[in-house]
Structure 1
């Protein structure tokens, strides 16, 4: 899922659709990963860094800490003020952050 899809989030309805799209992307990524593993690819990786909801939430929190909260954080202006779009941006970052 691209960062471009984040830019289309303007309100709660868009955000809800974004969440569904992210869930679909997660499912597709896991299926692709499983296919690669079944085909014997020894270094298969998915686009998502997390396999479980808890891992995803921890990745999201780690990204917030590193990119937005700590002193001199480079992305704080990207998530404040909190809007539907900046919330979608956080979720997008959390999906990839390790």
Structure 2
């Protein structure tokens, strides 16, 4: 991995920031297209496809074993369950409030 200098780092950050704002501005069009779909169905798809996406990334990075390690520790699993509940509530409220 090559080293990134400070100016290049700032430009990359600026690019990501502008991209995020553009996507955030386009998001209402996306929600309008999903008017006929229930919030729970959107949430279910978001959970499923996020899991698939993360597993694919972990496979490509050859780090799938780190994901499996979470299930060996009871305290890590409990933290994961609570994080899952809270992020699902967050996503659900966001989707419902659209």
| TM-score normalized with structure 1 length | 0.31
| TM-score normalized with structure 2 length | 0.31
Q: Which has the higher helix share?
A: 2
When Rg is computed on C-alpha atoms for both structures, the one with the higher figure is: 2
